[in-house]
Structure 1
Amino acid sequence: MTSQLPALAQQAAARVAVDAWPAGALAPWACDPTRSRGRRHPEPPAPTRNPFQRDRDRVIHSTAFRRLVYKTQVFLNHEGDLFRTRLTHSLEVAQLGRSIARALGLHEDLVEAIALAHDLGHTPFGHAGQEALNACLQADDGPWAAEPRGPDEPHGGFEHNLQSLRVVDELEQRYPEFDGLNLSFETREGILKHCARANAEWLEAREPGGVGARFLRGESPSLEAQLANVADEIAYNAHDIDDGVRSGLLTLEQLEQVELFDAFRREALAQHPHLSGRRLLYESIRRMLSAQVYDVIAATRAALAAAGVQSVEDVRAQPPLLGFSPTMREASLRLKRFLLVHLYRHPQVMETTARARQVVVDLYRAYCADPAQLPAQRRRGGLSLRRQVADHIAGMTDRYAIREHERLTGQRLFG
């Protein structure tokens, strides 16, 4: 059956062109840097940059941002030089986010700052590392497990969104007056896109009315924060297709099962019958990306109009307003299910991620058993040993984790 997605994408693109927001103008529902809720530690304004530009620049110059070049998504560094890393992924999210922000009259610098910072707290080895570290912190199978939680640490388990916030609030140490990067409230709010209630309560106790409050009040974040989240989803779906085909674990023939990809592959072939191989893959992905971008812009404009939104406060009082149309949302979910079965759970990927999990578990146990192995800068008062170890591991790159694992255990799990 012929897909309706290309026709819907063309209609969305036409609406986007007609209703384009004036270039450089902020919509009433956008975050205005002159009305920012400020920083935890007051600072004089920068003479040439707005607060959100300043946030972006601080993220880019941070140590945690540089580490992203050797933190991976699905495929580990040793598996190839051209697979996405957390750094290239973050750049793609920022590009998509800025494009959509401009069309919606949102603040582009804020979207970019959130996008570049959203994965700063991710562990090495992608989601496998995160899951392993979370399991370690929740386990009670070692002598260190009964150690009480320190006053300056979150509740049990590991949440990479909360860890990203902790990186910019505390773990980066660059300034003489404060820990962290001292980012604006609006950027920090966007970084913390998910948070368990217990940790939201912990944040609220430390910062009343701060970034944890919306999780307790049932409020939505800014549209810029919502956009960074959607751009993240658009980016990783597209680049996981690309990396999956590059790795040989996915084929173009398999992808014919996926309407969101195949509809635009057929459209590309209808216009360019000679296309094949990587050119066909790239053109199909390009069209798929454009269709999702136009869909988000058109659907969000319709949602804003229906809700009668006229301010950031109106946005916070509504359920999330920025996202796909129902048709595109369902197509995106089907793509996610396909990637889960055929890529993320592919036997080759599962074998690699099993070794990655083992590296994280072994590192955690080794440091907890012998805290002297922790670098001095990771030993912080107010934190339990378990959390100090978790902070150290979460900050590692893939290759540093592999080297440390070999040094501490004598095992070599990766070539």
Structure 2
Amino acid sequence: MLQAFRSERASGTGHAAPPDRLRDHPAFLLFWISRVASALAFQMLGVAVGWLVYARTGSAMALGLVGLAQFLPILLLTLPAGHAADTFDRRRIVVICQAVAAVTLAWLALDLSQGGSSLLAIYGAVMMIGACRAFEHPTMAALLPRLVPGPVLPRAIAVASSALQMATIAGPAVGGFAYALGPTVPLAAAAACYGMAALAMMIMPHAHAPAARGGLSLVTLLEGLSFIRGHKVVLGSISLDLFAVLLGGVTALLPIFASDILHVGAEGLGALRAAPAVGAVLMSVLLARMPLTKHVGPKMFAAVAVFGLATVVFSLSSSFLVSLCALFVLGAADNVSVVIRSSLVQLSTPDAMRGRVSAVNSLFIGTSNQLGEFESGMAAALLGAVGAGVVGGIGTIVVALAWMRLFPDLVTVDRMPARPDRLA
């Protein structure tokens, strides 16, 4: 994967590759380390909390409530977080969020080791992590375009995505095996990873000079929404991800599949959670070396449809190997969509607006992931895990077809847009 930093290929347009290389930007390398460590912590937390809650309750609804506990802070705080990212030092915001997350998980691990931590305490800790992520994610997204020149940004997004997916591979596997030593072990390790992420971000060379603006108001909060509403390509790509993953996500149900359908235990759960990331990281390395330069709109819709189909295959499978393969394909397809969508959003947004636009984007992502987990849990309580997965996968395909009619301009996007501003 690190070879992606050294990739000097042309973008496929027939022109020479830009002289800028990712390895020539130490700030991006530290950003990448911070993102890996933060994502690793969150993935270990996901395995530990998911298995702990299901072991205590045996309830799909209780698993769904974990997703809801993560989503509610995102819903309430994302728009203020976007305003903060455009008003204050972005690096400092990220450091604070990662440090608070580290302290929260250290407290939860200590409380569990002493025989405490009711379900209410666990949900409370998850809500705190959700609040930290509500500020961390849009701020890091707004940071990235300022760390590399515009022509290198799509490749940087692919490499940053590979960082996230690498952590998603290692995190669930490490979390699943560490859980065998007790739930405090993966939680303590996650706290240490958040601390490492904060340290890398703290020493990252970066100067953010936010534009002068007034105080927090309804107008400033909603400027990101207004920008997205006025740019149909951005609106279409973000909302496509929202509804597709909202319906097709099966992450919250993996403990049920691992325990009751595939019978593979906590170690198998770690492998199931890692499988989508394996597909995604291999795809992200490919996209870093061979960036998408043509027909990006149709490719994004095709990727979403493949995501839905893979979800159906996984839901119907009773074979651990077939399930792993389906999740692998699901992750690879999702990464194509993520890289295209992120590039479209960042390259279409001026830097002064990136915090608020990234916040809205993070809200949509949080809705599709965390609220999608809640929806999956509720659907599984009514239809069973298999039925909920099949219906969700079919729904994702239907959404892709519907969005092709609702956003024809998105279907016809051939190349990435020119960057609206330049690095200072």
Normalised by the length of structure 2, the TM-score is 0.27
* Greater relative CO, 1 or 2 (CA 8 Å, sep 6+): 2
Larger Rg: 1
More helix by share: 2
